[in-house]
Amino acid sequence: MPSMNNAAERVRRELLIRVIRGELDGTLDQEIDRIPIVMRPSDQPASRCCIYKDRAVLKYRLMGILGFGVEDETDEAKPLREYLAEARLRREPPKEVLSVAPVACYGCIESHYVITNACRACFARPCTFSCPKQAITVGPKQAEIDHSKCIDCGKCTTVCPYKAIIRVPIPCEEACPTGAIRKDESGREWINFDTCISCGKCLKACPFSAVLERSQIIEVIRAMKEGRRVVAMVAPAIIGQFPATLEQLAEGLRKAGFSDMLEVASGAELTARNEAKEFFERMERGDHLMTSSCCPAYVEAVRKLIPEMRKFVSATPSPMGYSGRLAKERDPECVTVFIGPCVAKRKEACSDPNVDYVMTFEELGALFAAREINLGTLEGLKLEREADPYARGFGAGCGVTAAILHEMSAGEGQTPPKIDGKLINPLDRKNMRLLKLHALGKLPGNFLEVMACEGGCVGGPCALVDAEKGGAAVRKLAREE
């Protein structure tokens, strides 16, 4: 499915390029408040109701790039350059990740069933009979639903011979696995951070591009400008995201201002090894289940919403966690930046002292574009160390299980316990319920690999290519195919 053909994504990336370029040049102070005007000049048609609204939305998006959410807005008249000044001084990355821009939120109507004009007001009227609440009446031209009676059961949609009844969803609410995004009385969406797991599905789902994430790009550029050693820890999902090899990426990252590239797959090797060991121990002691812990959205989901599962989540650090450790062991003074397709990693990094900042592939792409680095033309740097092929497979669904199985088969002398692995992917409402049942021991399987995004990390909200293509590239490198 081509997702790149999408106006919202393009705007997001264009804004990033402009901000990064301005900040690198040192001209962003003068430029930033003009960006909405430059991008939405008055002589061009508006994409919303008017250019002023377009510009207001761009302002909120820019606030997000500077690391601020709508929740941080105290004065609507505050210019972007003041936010920029604050962002440059900020020492702690923002605690929450997602936010909804009020002007951008279209306030989709409550998800509901609609009888379209395909209805012929037929004679048989199966809809009226199938409705358990008598909410449907048939007028002279077509049937109507009384929404005060409708319970959203959807029975009418299945019986209509014209398929005239459809369900109109609210995209963000539909995508959210935990029900954390909801309307207020005025109809606009708010995120409840008590239940938000920062998976970023709403970000990807909103057709009005109203959901934004708080970026840390200003901090990363600051570290580069201060001349610090900034280590790019690239997620295994990176392969296939750019038209480049790992070697070319290593050179591109160097040119972009990073000191080294560290494959997070090196951390994944340790995760796989220790998680295999942990699995062995847990089975020995009689546990019926262990789950992976590398997906931060899943870990948040368990912490906040599936208490039954807490004791079964692997305590082994994630590949990012190990990679941060490796980097800081080598040079405690270095600045570590995890680069991936993930929104939730920002949250995980907040509680990991070894990971300073998190960037997305989208932001990295914008950094390359801003610096005019053309990966395809680079010679490429020889990798200091090649990560294990199995560990490189972590970024696609089943990759974790494959790596652990590999580790277990390589185990010294012991007979490994039988592993009955299941992949829980993606994290949606149905799978949230399944996880509960697994925790209670009501379903078969003793090892669960849980990935919030469709197809694994490659399907993350900030990936650059679609999950299928990304997944194929990851699997190829992991030599699974």
Partner 1 sequence: MGNGSKLKVEICLGTTCFILGASELQDLAQYLEPELLDRVDIIGRTCLGFCKDRKFDGAPFVRLDESIVIERATVARVTEKIKAMLKEKDAE
Identify the bridge partners of residue 115 per DSSP, sorted by sequence position.
165
Q: Which is nearer to partner 1, 51 or 464 (CB)?
A: 464
Q: Which is nearer to partner 1, 267 or 365 (CB)?
A: 365
> What six digits make up the tokens of 149?
């009676």
> What six digits make up the tokens of 297?
């959205």
Name the one range near partner 1 by CB under 8 A: 14-22, 51-59, 135-143, 385-393: 14-22
d(CA 439, CA 420): 15
Name the one range near partner 1 by CB under 8 A: 108-116, 223-231, 362-370, 454-462: 362-370
Q: What is the 3-state secondary structure (H, E, C) of 388-441?
A: CHHHHHHHCCCHHHHHHHHHHHCCCCCCCCCCCEEEECCCCHHHHHHHHHHHCC
CB of 272 to partner 1, least distance (A): 30
Q: Which is nearer to partner 1, 4 or 124 (CB)?
A: 4
d(CA 224, CA 335): 9
Q: Which is nearer to partner 1, 35 or 180 (CB)?
A: 35
Contact between 304 and partner 1 by CB under 8 A: the answer reads: no
Helix, strand, coil in percent for the chain, rounding step 5: 45, 10, 45
E-assigned strands of 169-266? 181-183, 189-191, 211-213, 230-234, 260-263
Single residue of 312, 368, 394, 447 touching partner 1 by CB under 8 A: 368
One-letter identity of residue 200: G
Contact between 10 and partner 1 by CB under 8 A: the answer reads: yes
Per DSSP, the residues of 456-477 read SGGG-TT-SS-HHHHHHHHHHH
Name the one range near partner 1 by CB under 8 A: 217-225, 281-289, 363-371, 439-447: 363-371
Contact between 44 and partner 1 by CB under 8 A: the answer reads: no
Q: 79: cis peptide before it, omega within 30°?
A: no
String of contacts with partner 1 for each residue 242-281, x by CB under 8 A: xx--------x-----------------------------
Contact between 472 and partner 1 by CB under 8 A: the answer reads: no
By CB under 8 A, the count of residues binding partner 1 is 25
Contact between 415 and partner 1 by CB under 8 A: the answer reads: no
Contact between 34 and partner 1 by CB under 8 A: the answer reads: no
- Give the DSSP letter of residue 313: B
Single residue of 344, 464, 467, 474 touching partner 1 by CB under 8 A: 464
Q: Which is nearer to partner 1, 102 or 365 (CB)?
A: 365
Within 226-245, the residues that bind partner 1 by CB under 8 A are 242-243
Contact between 476 and partner 1 by CB under 8 A: the answer reads: no
Q: Which is nearer to partner 1, 5 or 117 (CB)?
A: 5
CB of 49 to partner 1, least distance (A): 23
**298-337 residues labelled b (16+ CB within 10 A) or e (exposed):** bbbbbeebbeebeebbbebbbbbbbbbbbbbeeeeebbbb
Q: Which is nearer to partner 1, 250 or 464 (CB)?
A: 464
Single residue of 24, 150, 350, 369 touching partner 1 by CB under 8 A: 369
* Backbone torsion region of residue 447, taken as left when φ is above 0, otherwise alpha when ψ lies between -120 and 50, otherwise beta: beta
Name the one range near partner 1 by CB under 8 A: 12-20, 127-135, 140-148, 263-271: 12-20
CB of 417 to partner 1, least distance (A): 43
Single residue of 8, 15, 21, 354 touching partner 1 by CB under 8 A: 21
Q: Which is nearer to partner 1, 18 or 325 (CB)?
A: 18
d(CA 60, CA 12): 11
CB of 469 to partner 1, least distance (A): 8
Within 371-400, the residues that bind partner 1 by CB under 8 A are 372-377
Contact between 157 and partner 1 by CB under 8 A: the answer reads: no
Pairing between β-strand 181-183 and β-strand 189-191 as defined by DSSP bridges? antiparallel
Name the one range near partner 1 by CB under 8 A: 5-13, 164-172, 211-219, 319-327: 5-13
E-assigned strands of 75-208? 98-100, 112-115, 136-138, 143-145, 165-168, 181-183, 189-191
Q: Is 181 helix (H, G, I), strand (E, B) or coil?
A: strand
Q: Is 49 helix (H, G, I), strand (E, B) or coil?
A: coil
Backbone angles phi, psi at 305, to 5 degrees: -130, -15
Contacts with partner 1 by CB under 8 A lie at 2-5, 10, 13-14, 17, 21, 242-243, 252, 362, 365-366, 368-369, 372-377, 464-465
